[in-house]
Every structure is written in structure tokens, then in C-alpha cells.
Amino acid sequence: MMAPMTVIYDPTKPERNRPAPLPDAEASARLAALADQARADMALIGHNHDWVPAPADGAYNVLVLGAGQAGLGSAFALSRHRIGAVKVIEGGPAHEVGCWTRYARMHTLRSPKNMKGIELDIPSLHTERWFEAKYGREAWDATDLVPREDWNEYLTWYRDVTGADVDFNTTITAVHKPDASGYFTVVATRDGERVEYRARRVIFSLGLKGGGGTFLPPLVENLPEHLRFHTEDDIDFDSLAGKRVLVLGGGASGFDNASTALEAGAATVEMHVRRSDIPRQNSLRWMEFPGMQEHFYDLTDEQKWEFSLFNGGLPQPPTQASVWRAFCHGNFSMLTDTRWADATVRVTDGVEEVVVTDDKGVEHVGDVVISATGYAVDLGLRPELEEFLDDIALWSDEFEPAVGHGMGLCPYLGDGFQFQAKDAASDEAREYIPRLVHLSTGARASHGVAGNQLSGIFAGLTRVAQRIATDITKENWPTFFREFRAFEHIEIAEAGPHREGEAWYPDGPRY
């Protein structure tokens, strides 16, 4: 009998954190067979013909902005409703899907491996099947959390198998109000050239920044740009070799960036945490049940608000492995109960250093700061929403207790993550605002855990596609009804007895 296989998550040896693949030829053949199976499964339980009227010349029914897991999942969810002419636009290159090989610097996902996800009820599209095809069943059984690079690779496979139509290296710069025929114009740049797309609907799935932007506390933002980073920045970690790094924040990204800096040869990494301890409890794990994932939206505003306030105060913990990964370096230290009161630059003999003074008056000196301070929800920071901002209803517009609260800046979304128009909006805006869909961080006040993260992504994608399919049906009802009136499908060729050899007739034993 073979010895049981173990996949070792050794925090000091990142290269050992991916299971050994099966021999290339075998893995490729298994993945190709799985892709065939997935396509067959999709066809088997898919709708059998198109139904959405073709959009005007060169336009799309839906443009999906961002080809991370949320954008790709949206495109797939729409295809399950047989909604064609869907284009996905992505700023990055084809080999990187979303954040996973960019600023997500952990070894593994935090989400449990056995979650319902972007496969949307097609088992052969699930990560588990992909992983099994690539590494073998034992590797999956022995794997605790899915390695991050495998997740990226799985997403590229998923993108291919689900047939997403993606334009890569295309960065969206603006979205304009619809023209007289109801089509929005999306403006982007590719290779320095301006490109334009037109579509009836737009899904904004631009990642964690999509609800606003990265958040830097003002005293960090005021430091010169070359001395401070946000964890989402494209940091050249090799340039941190020999440097003293100050990390602000003890969440997942704080630990991942601290470890990446240490592995790149940083002289020291000092992490500063405001609380008396790092977060340990992960409340997301409670939220992963159907009532919460699929039906949070149906609660009252009071219930949603109460939940949002309570949940908003619960910090997300890092994984145990990422804490170990940092602490196994002797030159890593973590200071709790440390609030930054000031941050300045001191220049000695032409050499710059950052001097941070904490609220107890203690000075901490480093060469560079990495701010692991998360994201802000503020649609006003999104250039692509500029023309719509005045008309989009926020929680603070619709629910009195939300006025003046940070969470009140979250958009007050409809059941399919669509923006809603403010009461004061024009009739025109009231028609087109709900054709814009926000599948990003601002959705949490309206949809809780459903949305772009794995904890509830299947529910978010399902709602988005369901709403769009409903709205397309309503919008096109006059056309559908006209088609129905003119419809001819003659099934009775003979108003008489069946003649031998003419056509199929049920004469077998079961009739």
C-alpha cells in the first residue's frame, strides 16, 4: 500500500507549498478530459437556443469590467441564462487572473476548499475536480487550503472552459451615459490607443478597490511616495533587501507582505497593531450558510444595518500559516497596542528614514512603510462612475440611521446588485441606473457576504444573472409577444391515421 501523501505547508519554504504535479503529459490529458466533461455537462443542462435579441451593430448585451473571479463568474452565470454578446474587459494580461499573482502574497487561500463557488452547480467545473485532475485525488485529500497559485491556474482553466470572451491589457478609463438607443459607452486604453465599447448593461467587477479605493491613513499618505506603499501596490520586494520595514496593520495582508519582505532579505520587519492582539476569530465562517449567502438581501433594512454595523467592527484574521510564516524569521517583530500619532522623514547625511511616533511618544524608525490598512468604500473615488454618481442611491440616502456613518456610503443596491436611482433622479436616470451592476466591496451593506468573495460568490453571481435575465425579458416583452403572434410551428402533418414507413410512431412495448 502507498504511504499516505501529505502536502506540507512549511512557511519557511514557499516552493514546497504546492503539491507535486502528476507527470506533465498525464496531468494535461486529465485536464483536457475534464474540460471536455465540463463542456458536455454545461451543454446537457443548458438552454438549447438563443433568445435575447441581438444588440445593435458591434454593441454588447453586457460588458463585464474586470476579469477576476467575479467578472469571469458573471460572464458564466449570464451564459447559463443563454445571454450572448457578453464581453469581459481586463486591464491585466491573460496569465494573471485578478489579484492572485499580483498583490495577494499569501501561500494559500483563506476560504475553505469545499465551498460552493463559481462552478455554479456544474460539478466538473469545481476546483476540486481541477485539482484532482492535476495532482491526483490523494493530493486533494491531503490539502487543507487551496494554494494561491493553483487558484490562479484554476481560474485560467475555468475562463477557457466556460468560453469567456475577454479583451486583455485593456484598461477602463470612463463609462458614459447611454445614447438615444440606450447603449452605454465604455472607454478604455490598450497599447496607448483609445478603444470604445457599447453595451446595454455594465457589470463593475473591478476587485476590492472597485467600491472606492485603497485606504491609507493621512499620516502615511503624506509621506513621500517612494517611502510608503499600500499592500495592493506593485512593490519591488527585491529593493527592500537590507531595509528596515515598518508594517502598519496586523491583518492577512500585513502578515503576507511582512513575510514577503523578509523572504526578500529585509533587514528587519516591525509590525504595528492598534489592537491589544491580532484578530483570531474568523466570523466569515459563520456566514457561510444558505440563509446568509442567498437571503440576506431579503431581510429588512433595519436587520441589514444592524448586522453591517456589528460585522464591520469584526476584523478579519490572517491565516495561522501566514502568522507562522512571519514569526519564523528572527528579524520579525510585532508590537500590539500601538497607534501611530505622527510619521515624518528624517534625512541624515543624505539618507532618508521614516520616523513614526506612536501615541505613547515612542519613536520607531524604518526605511520604508507598508500600510496594510485595507480599502475604503466611496464611489466618489471611482472615475468610471463619475457621470452617474449624483443619481446613485446610497444607504445614507435611503436609511436615516446611515446618515453620517462610513457604511452609509455603500450603494443601496437592488436584488441583483444593480444600482438604484435616488428619488430625485430624472426619469431617464431612473431607467438606466439599474442597468449598472456593482459586484464589489460596496455591496456588503445590501448583500452581506454574497458578492465577489468565495464566501458567497455563487449567490451573488446567481442573483446578478437572474436579475439581468428578468429585466431583458421585461424590456423585450413587446417583441417577444409580437414574435409569438407570428409564430408558426406546425407539428401535425396528417389529420388522419399513421401510414406505415411515414415517420416515427410510438409502437414499442411501453406504449
Residues lying near ligand FAD in the complex (CB under 6 A) are found at: 66-71, 89-92, 98-99, 104, 106, 109-111, 171-172, 205-208, 252-253, 256, 452-454
* 305 neighbors 402 (Cβ within 8 angstroms): yes
What is d(CA 449, CA 290) in angstroms, rounded to the nearest whole number? 11
* Rounded (5°) CA angle 235-240-246: 90
C-alpha distances (whole Å) from 144 to each of 7, 172, 225 are: 8, 37, 38
Q: Give φ, ψ of 394 to 5 degrees.
A: -105, 165
Residue 363 CB, nearest approach to ligand FAD (Å): 29
Nearer of residues 55 and 66 to ligand FAD, judged by Cβ: 66
First to last CA, the chain: 53
Beta strand pairing status for 166-167 and 363-366? unpaired
- Count CB-CB contacts under 10 A for residue 12: 11
Q: Give φ, ψ of 304 to 5 degrees.
A: -65, -40
Residue 140 CB, nearest approach to ligand FAD (Å): 17
Nearer of residues 207 and 434 to ligand FAD, judged by Cβ: 207
Residue 157 CB, nearest approach to ligand FAD (Å): 16
Nearer of residues 75 and 104 to ligand FAD, judged by Cβ: 104
Nearer of residues 37 and 169 to ligand FAD, judged by Cβ: 169
Residue 71 CB, nearest approach to ligand FAD (Å): 5
Q: How far is CA 203 from the centre of its chain?
A: 12
Q: Give φ, ψ of 25 to 5 degrees.
A: -60, -40
Q: How far is CA 457 from the centre of its chain?
A: 8
Nearer of residues 109 and 436 to ligand FAD, judged by Cβ: 109
Residue 384 CB, nearest approach to ligand FAD (Å): 7
E-assigned strands of 239-287? 244-248, 268-272
Nearer of residues 34 and 106 to ligand FAD, judged by Cβ: 106
Residue 306 CB, nearest approach to ligand FAD (Å): 25
Residue 400 CB, nearest approach to ligand FAD (Å): 30
- Three-class SS state of 173: strand
Nearer of residues 367 and 384 to ligand FAD, judged by Cβ: 384
